[in-house]
Amino acid sequence: MKRTLISTAIALISGLAIHAAVQAANDEPIQPIKPPANINLGMVELGKKLYFDPRLSKSGFISCNSCHNLSMGGTDNIPTSIGDKWQQGPINAPTVLNSSLNVAQFWDGRAADLKAQAGGPIANPGEMAFSHTLAINVLESIPGYVREFKQVFGKDKISIEEVTLAIAEFEKTLVTPNSRFDQWLLGKKDALTADELAGYKLFKESGCVACHNGEAVGGNSFQKMGVVEPYKTSATAGGRADVTGKDADRFNFKVPTLRNVEMTYPYFHDGAANTLTEAVDIMGRLQLGKKFTKDENAKVVAFLKTLTGDQPNFALPILPPSTDKTPRPTPFAK
């Protein structure tokens, strides 16, 4: 009886401690990333192949992974992307990491979800420069794909619906839990240094969290680029206004996630900021009317670097070979 009482007391105290830690995490404007749930693994394996398959492009050279490179934070680390025939893209490729947590996809949110996004670049003449029909023709000529689509979707015919569903399912797995910041949120109080914690305090007190909050530290709202001071850029993207047609939405862009931001340089929709130091300085001035000192800036940057989580960890997919019937890519066709 006494033992039971003591056990109950210990359980109660442990419970309270856990509750307190969880409560602490909940009180913060940023929440730890949860590993993905409710995942269809067969669809993920198929989507992973499609994500890496350059045969979904006209040239046979560009895959999803070309511009959203999973070796490099899910981006291409260049200001604006390279498309078919080396065309210069109009906007910086946003990271695919944690993109399942975004309120919508693309900088202007023109795709409601990952599935709607996935079909875009394939048929964009400035990107993969193919068409959905041509992509399906390629896939249907490859027995390895036909079998895998049948296994996963139970259908004999492949359509762009299944292609984008599979790519989206794979992308749902590309979350990056377990960053040092998340470890700290979950109760490991020595996971951050004093400078990193000071940077987080500045990040909250200066107002950065007003937009960069939640599980992805961003990605959940559209905000004007240049609130206090206008943002000067040669990029022509109009932002959210291009979708809504409303002038009030001009230069409103989806707030980018700050998860893995150490890896996703250069920054902003035009990729004009090469370093985090630059990005923090510009954001402070243009969005908050605040000039961070050199020391404050360094502390905020130190905090931002604690947001790098576990990167994707999977075997490089091997793609099923084309057959005699597979239409061949035309990289140099006029």
From candidates 275, 289, 291, 295, binder to a copy of itself by CB under 8 A? 275
From candidates 5, 332, 333, 334, binder to a copy of itself by CB under 8 A? 332
- Tokens for 94, please give them: 């946003």
Give yes or no for residue 182 binding a copy of itself (CB under 8 A).
Answer: no
DSSP character at residue 82: B
Catalytic residue selected from 28, 45, 127, 215: 127
Q: How near is the Cβ of 312 to a copy of itself at its closest, in Å?
A: 7
Q: How near is the Cβ of 49 to a copy of itself at its closest, in Å?
A: 8
User: Segment 60-79, which members bind a copy of itself (CB under 8 A)?
Assistant: 60-61, 66, 69-73, 76-78
d(CA 219, CA 213): 8
Query: In the annotation, is 127 catalytic?
Result: yes
Of all helices (H) and strands (E), which one includes residue 253?
Answer: strand 252-254
Of all helices (H) and strands (E), which one includes residue 23?
Answer: helix 2-27
DSSP character at residue 334: -
From candidates 53, 169, 171, 182, binder to a copy of itself by CB under 8 A? 53
Of all helices (H) and strands (E), which one includes residue 298?
Answer: helix 294-304
Q: Which of the stretches 35-43, 205-213, 222-230, 273-281 binds a copy of itself when contact is defined by CB under 8 A?
A: 273-281
Query: At 277, is the secondary structure helix, strand, or coil?
Result: helix
Give yes or no for residue 295 binding a copy of itself (CB under 8 A).
Answer: no
Give yes or no for residue 319 binding a copy of itself (CB under 8 A).
Answer: yes
d(CA 251, CA 71): 30
Give yes or no for residue 315 binding a copy of itself (CB under 8 A).
Answer: yes
Q: How near is the Cβ of 322 to a copy of itself at its closest, in Å?
A: 7
Residues forming beta bridges with residue 224, ordered by sequence position: 252
CB atoms near residue 192 (< 10 Å) = 20
Q: Which residues are catalytic?
A: 127
